[in-house]
Amino acid sequence: MAKFKHICIIDDDPIYTFTTRKIMELGNFSNYIEVFKNGKEALEALKPRVEAHQNVPEVIFLDLNMPIMDGWQFLDEFTMPNTKQITIYIVSSSIDPADLKKAKQYSLVTNYIIKPITSEKLKELFDDMKNNNSYE
């Protein structure tokens, strides 16, 4: 099973973040799981780290509908130098085809996942990332 050094969850739903974090901890998916309640909070914390190439998550799970700054606004503002690849998954309860179509327009987004996320789905995603990106 893939194990990552740093995973980031950006979502305002405390039940979702708690359960996803617990699934990741029990599945030993990551050494460090960081949670932000909205895109602005995440952007303010992550942008300087990305620019400094320090403490950057390998994977971000991003919700779309959040207060203050939603997932789309986060994607519009978040830039990443080519020196460090971050895998971004949109994880949303939205099944709107327009959201799925819009997500495909962002080169940073790897996939769109409909909530709820399960341990089996996480294992599948992480195994695919490990096989495709040689993470350890």
pLDDT of res. 126:
78
Report helix, strand or coil for 80. Answer: coil
- Each as own residue / partner, the long-range contacts of residues 94-98 (CB below 8 Å, 24 or more positions apart, any chain) are 94/64, 94/65
Please state, in angstroms and rounded to a whole number, the distance separating the CA atoms of residues 13 and 31: 22
> Structural domains in the chain?
4-133 (3.40.50.2300)
The predicted-structure confidence for 15-29, as pLDDT tens digits, reads as follows 999 999 999 998 888
pLDDT at residue 30 in the model = 87
Cα radius of gyration (the chain): 14
Tell me: the pLDDT tens digits for 46-92? Answer: 999 888 888 889 899 999 999 999 999 999 999 776 545 788 999 99
Residue 112 near residue 99 (C-beta atoms within 8 A): yes
